[in-house]
Amino acid sequence: MKRKEISPKDFVTRPFDIWLNKWFLLSCGDEDNFNVMTVAWGSFGGVWNKPFAQIFVRPTRHTFGFCSDFPHFTLCSFPKDFRNDLNILGSKSGRDCDKLSLTGLTVEKSKKVSSPSFKEADLVLECRKIYWGDLNSSNFLDKSIDECYPQKDFHRVFFGEIVHVESAENLPV
Ligand SMILES: Cc1cc2nc3c(=O)[nH]c(=O)nc-3n(C[C@H](O)[C@H](O)[C@H](O)COP(=O)(O)O)c2cc1C
């Protein structure tokens, strides 16, 4: 996929649609040792005078250890044709199989971070971890939130400063 670099401040998207409907592939680790999983919960914003992406990772995910141990992560989104690949990567665990080999995705080196990106992505956000925290269920103010945690596996949130953005020219916003 042909992409061009854009400044994080020029990055335009429909945040609810891209997170909840289009999804991202989260990659954490480095070239030799990384894991990926599909994510649909997260946000973009500004904090501590930096543009950032926030991701939510349950401790039960194989990706969790990579996100906790490595300093970077990437978020890649893809054209519709790769929807089934995102379903595979969001339902199988890297703990049990080489799930990427079941998809048509091709790993590529990122520009500014150690975690890899994907050739087929139409949007790549490279992030440097700047904060993490575990959700505290005693602070849930809406009863429906508890229903998301029958196993009490409360997410860990990671904030990543967005240090590099690449977007396909024809990407619909
Ligand atoms: C559409 C979709 C969105 C998902 N979003 C998240 C998420 O935001 N956080 C999370 O912890 N798991 C999420 N998952 C579940 C993980 O992607 C899934 O459990 C995956 O198999 C974990 O892989 P791993 O064990 O290799 O890390 C999502 C799954 C799908 C299909």
Nearest CA to ligand 1 atom 6: 39
38 lines ligand 1 (CB under 6 A): yes
| Assigned CATH topology for domain 3-168 | Pnp Oxidase; Chain A (2.30.110)
Joined tokens for residue 128:
């440097």
What residue has token string 């990659």? 27
For the chain, give every domain's residue range.
3-168
DSSP state of 170: T
**Which residue intervals of the chain are DSSP H helices?**
15-17, 62-69, 83-89, 143-146
Tokens 């590099």: give the residue. 164
Nearest to 54, CA basis, from 165, 155, 169: 155
How many CB atoms neighbour CB 145 within 10 A?
13
Q: What is the per-residue pLDDT for 169?
A: 87
- Can you give the pLDDT of all 173 residues of the chain as single tens digits? 999 999 998 999 999 999 999 999 999 999 999 999 999 999 999 999 999 999 999 999 999 999 999 999 999 999 999 999 999 999 999 999 999 999 999 999 999 999 999 999 999 999 999 999 999 999 999 999 999 999 999 999 999 999 999 999 877 66
**pLDDT given at position 59:** 98
Q: What 3-state class would DSSP assign to 132?
A: strand
Closest CA to 53 of 139, 168, 131, 118: 131
- Cα of 168 vs centre of ligand 1, distance in Å, is 25
Residue nearest to ligand 1 atom 30, measured at CA: 90
Report the nearest-CA residue for atom 29 of ligand 1: 90
Residue 173: predicted pLDDT: 61
Among protein residues, the one whose CA lies closest to atom 16 of ligand 1: 90
CA dihedral sign, ordered 12, 17, 23, 28: positive
Q: Is the CB of 41 under 6 A from ligand 1?
A: yes
Q: What pLDDT is recorded for position 172? A: 64
Q: Ligand 1: which atom is nearest the Cα of residue 94?
A: 26
Determine if residue 152 is left, alpha or beta; phi over 0 gives left, psi from -120 to 50 gives alpha, anything else beta: left
Identify whether the C-beta of residue 76 lies closer than 8 Å to the C-beta of residue 123. yes
Name the residue among 136, 137, 142, 159 with its Cα closest to residue 56. 159
- So what's the pLDDT on residue 146? 97
Query: Ligand 1 within 6 A of 63 CB?
Result: yes
The whole-number pLDDT of residue 170 equals 75
